[in-house]
Amino acid sequence: MRESRPDRRRPRAAATLAAGVLFCLTALSGCSAGGADAASRTEPRPASPRPTPVWDPSPASIAAVGDSITRGFDACTLLADCPEVSWATGTDTGVNSLALRLLGAPGAAERSWNLARSGARMDDLPAQMEQAAAEKPELVTVMVGANDACRDSTELMTPVTRFKADFQAAMDTLRAGAPKAQVYVASVPDLKRLWSAGKDNPLGKEIWKLGICASMLADPDDLSHTAEHRRSLVRERVVAYNEALKEVCARDTRCRYDGGAVFGFSFGTGQLSPLDFFHPSKDGQRRLAEIAYRQVTSAEPPAPPRA
């Protein structure tokens, strides 16, 4: 039998491989198994597309929910709704509602729905949201809460925890039926500012005696500590309601709170109804429409108004 000889090629191959490994370890760039510079052949990755913004500043249909303000109560006729001058969905060109500004005259009549109800409080909102969801609107406007503070006494004002829970329930109801609808939430107006604007009008004070928002407007000339404390309690509750609106809205990527714009608006006598000196007049409705339009069409949520 022939004695086998050691394979002299194996040490040479091992030495060559070791040299290649050493070169790769000492080089600044990486090496491939074949010794080529793999990093130099790596193509740059294409830039990721920018995410589509969740908020669309030009919705094609609108549903409005809320209370008497959105119904245009006392803006045209005493103790009656006047939805044609509603800041949200009205067709009166003098008001130039949000619907008119966004949809035009034909669209405002054909693709907007005013589902608000005079006298409504926050616990009425889930049912209104269910109606709104059935219309599949691209935008839902919300203005509610004044009646939760406007009660016969401060003790009857809606507790903040209940107010917040009812608003969350309303949002959940909308999302169950219209998951992609955008929501514009207007802050509750400053009721104490409304008292201040109308308290010097003799006719307005006589009308207030009929029982309009007694928690704030009762005894309008009374400047005693007790009366001022009562009005302050109402204002503090409205501030708390607005904070609840803000917090619930912030949980929803398609919801935009107005940052306190309506609360901070200085309603004068020209913006108050000459029939009750409390609800918005046609000019007041127009101002609310202006605020809403700025909020809805802004690419980013507008900054809160300065104090």
Structural domains present in the chain: 62-297 (3.40.50.1110)
pLDDT the model gives residue 27 = 40
Question: CA end-to-end span of the chain, whole Å?
Answer: 106
Element (H, E) at 185: strand 182-185
Residue 302: CB partners within 8 Å, gap ≥ 6? Answer: 258, 259, 261, 294, 295
At residue 35, does pLDDT exceed 50?
no
- Report the amino acid identity of residue 174: L
pLDDT averaged over every residue in the chain: 87
**Residue in the structure block whose two tokens are 């309603």:** 267
* Cβ-proximal residues to 265 (8 Å cutoff; 6+ apart), any chain: 189, 287, 288, 291
| Cβ(126)–Cβ(174) below 8 Å | no
How confident is the model over 93-138, as pLDDT tens digits?
999 999 999 999 999 999 999 999 999 999 999 999 999 999 999 9
**CA-CA distance, 192 to 194, in Å (whole number)?**
5
pLDDT at 131: 98
Short-list 171, 185, 181, CA closest to 254 = 181
* pLDDT at site 49: 53
* pLDDT for the residue numbered 105: 92
Give the per-residue pLDDT at 16: 44
CA distances from residue 296 to 13, 63, 262 in whole angstroms, order as listed: 73, 14, 14
List alpha helices for the chain, DSSP H. Answer: 9-26, 68-71, 98-110, 125-135, 146-149, 160-177, 191-198, 202-208, 214-217, 225-250, 261-264, 282-297
60 alpha-carbon distance from chain centroid: 17
Euclidean distance between CA atoms 49 and 253, whole angstroms:
20
CA distance 56 to 138: 9
| Three-state DSSP class for residue 158 | coil
CA distance readout (Å), 198 to 155, 190, 210, 220, 275: 24, 13, 15, 9, 12
Share of the chain above pLDDT 90, in %: 74
48 pLDDT tier (thresholds 50, 70, 90)? low
The pair phi, psi for residue 96, each rounded to 5°, is 55, 65
Residue showing tokens 């198994």:
33
Cβ 199 vs Cβ 221: under 8 Å: yes
Q: Which helix (H) or strand (E) holds 199?
A: none
